[in-house]
Amino acid sequence: MPMLVFGIVLAFQKSKYLKGIGSVLAGLGFLFLGIHYMKEGFEAFKDSFDLASLAVGGYPGLFLFAAIGAAATVVMQSSHATLVLILTALSAGQITYENALALAIGANVGTTITAIIGSLSANVQGKRLAGAHLIFNMVTGIIAIVFISQFVWAVDSVSGKVGIEADNYTMKLAVFHTLFNITGVLVMVPLIHRLADYLFKTFPEKALDLAEPRYLSDAAIEFPETVLVSVKQEVWHLFDCAFELIAHGMNLHRTQILESIDLKKTIDDDREVHDFDIDELYETKVKVLYSSIVEFISRSQSEVPGVFAEEMFRLRNAATEIVESVKHIKHLRKNATKYLLSDNRHIRDEYNRLRYQIAMLLREIYRVREEEGADHALVIKDLKRLKKDVRIKHAELNDRVADVLRDERITAAMATSLLNDFNYVDGTMKNLYDCVKTLLSTHTEIIEEAAEEINLEDDDIDAATVA
């Protein structure tokens, strides 16, 4: 009753955290209240229904009572409630001690139904986990029934050594439950790799559609710091999606950019043209994902304090920078592909330099993103230096273009295309730099400033900052 009282009182508070605590307390209170009423109902019910009448000798009886325990747990959705009823029936003399153990085994198997129901709306990892839970309890349950005599002996032996009375069935059931789980661990741990392989085959993971948001959830809107983390992760997801279009738009593979030992030589030697529709992929992947981010931020802005809204505005701008970089590549792709196949070595070399500059920036972004413990301030400084180098080379490009044009090694049309496309490269570099600068910057100060407003605890602040 105290849980219900405090739970209801806290549920009417303004703070979302106090409301959450109130919901937890109220839920637990109603659970225990339900168990209490079930126990009282069983006391009244036992006179008209005698479990002892179902007693069957040997293993058939054990399997029968295990099935009853599993069914009761499925109905009540609580193995704890089933155990309470088992103790009541045992104390009333309706079942034997071995029958009680069989019911407890069934309760352990039946409790997996909760995980199974929860996994119906979960992703493939949740379904695998529920499957592992079911297999673990089923295998352990069968072993416990087959070796029930040995388990009874082990329970009596352990109980005697720790001073548990022979008629203290509550403690003896606790001992049995402990031995049951230990047996399951000892049996299943050596088989865990085979179990994992079986679950991977049974629940294969579907290919993820990059156009679908992975981290945006309506549940995250309830907590401002969770919204920030979710949006930042989704913007990184947008970056991953854009990476593919940028790489293919420059006729490069992702693996070439990230794994090539000599990236410059790889680009110079590669003259493969990637045949794909960049406009279609932009519309169906990048634009769809970007729209989802903008829509989610718009819905969540009214629910979060102003300081968090400011940070989300920066993240929205970061997403916009990614989209703009893809648009620049769309314009660059036509001439980059045309001159990649050109027999004119001079114009081909110049476009390879442009491809190399963008590829190097993408490579550096991924390197610092995956590097643990990196000093983001230094990283941003290095990326800024890389971006400045491109602008410095603009003057060098003008001199080179003037020289080769004067010597008639390229045509005036080639020179014009090259100078125009350099602006697209410059814009792409700027967009990517500005985006990553926002994504790599921490929001520690923003979290701390908003902590007082939304009554965050110190642990919550640390958790949000680390994330």
Residues 192-211 pLDDT 10s: 888 888 888 888 866 545 56
- Comparing 128-142, 185-199, 312-326, 376-390, which segment has the lowest mean pLDDT? 376-390
Report d(CA 350, CA 183) in Å as an integer.
Answer: 69
Residue 458 pLDDT class (50, 70, 90 cuts): very low
Which pLDDT score, from 0 to 100, does residue 452 have? Answer: 42
Stronger pLDDT, 327 or 145, i.e. the higher one: 327
Which pLDDT score, from 0 to 100, does residue 281 have? Answer: 85
Exposed/middle/buried for residue 233 (C-beta within 10 Å: 0-12, 13-18, 19+)? middle
Which pLDDT score, from 0 to 100, does residue 457 have? Answer: 44
- Comparing 7-16, 20-29, 188-197, which segment has the lowest mean pLDDT? 7-16
Stronger pLDDT, 222 or 354, i.e. the higher one: 354
- Comparing 71-75, 185-189, 244-248, 311-315, which segment has the lowest mean pLDDT? 71-75
Please give the angle made by the CA atoms of 132, 138 and 143, to the nearest 5 degrees: 125
Exposed/middle/buried for residue 275 (C-beta within 10 Å: 0-12, 13-18, 19+)? exposed
Stronger pLDDT, 119 or 354, i.e. the higher one: 354
Q: Which amino acid is at 212?
A: E
Assign residue 149 a region: left if phi > 0, alpha if psi is -120 to 50, beta otherwise?
alpha
Stronger pLDDT, 152 or 13, i.e. the higher one: 152
Ordered by start, the domain boundaries in the chain are 46-202, 218-466
Please say whether the beta carbons of 273 and 251 come within 8 A: yes
CA-based radius of gyration for the chain: 33
Mean pLDDT of all residues in 232-240:
90
Query: What are the angstrom distances between the C-alpha of 427 and each of 145, 233, 421, 422?
Result: 71, 24, 10, 9
- Kindly report the pTM of this predicted structure: 0.54
Which pLDDT score, from 0 to 100, does residue 461 have? Answer: 39
pLDDT tens digits, residue range 138-191?
888 888 888 888 888 888 888 888 888 877 777 887 888 888 889 888 988 888
What secondary structure does DSSP assign to 344-358, as a single string?
Answer: -HHHHHHHHHHHHHH
Percentage with pLDDT > 90 across the chain: 4
Is 40 in a helix, a strand, or coil?
helix
Report d(CA 160, CA 171) in Å as an integer.
Answer: 11
The CATH homologous superfamily for domain 218-466 is: Phosphate transport system protein phou homolog 2; domain 2 (1.20.58.220)
Stronger pLDDT, 452 or 3, i.e. the higher one: 3
The closest of 88, 104, 79 to 51, measured between CA atoms, is 88
Residue 350 pLDDT class (50, 70, 90 cuts): confident
Report d(CA 326, CA 342) in Å as an integer.
Answer: 24
Report d(CA 421, CA 328) in Å as an integer.
Answer: 9
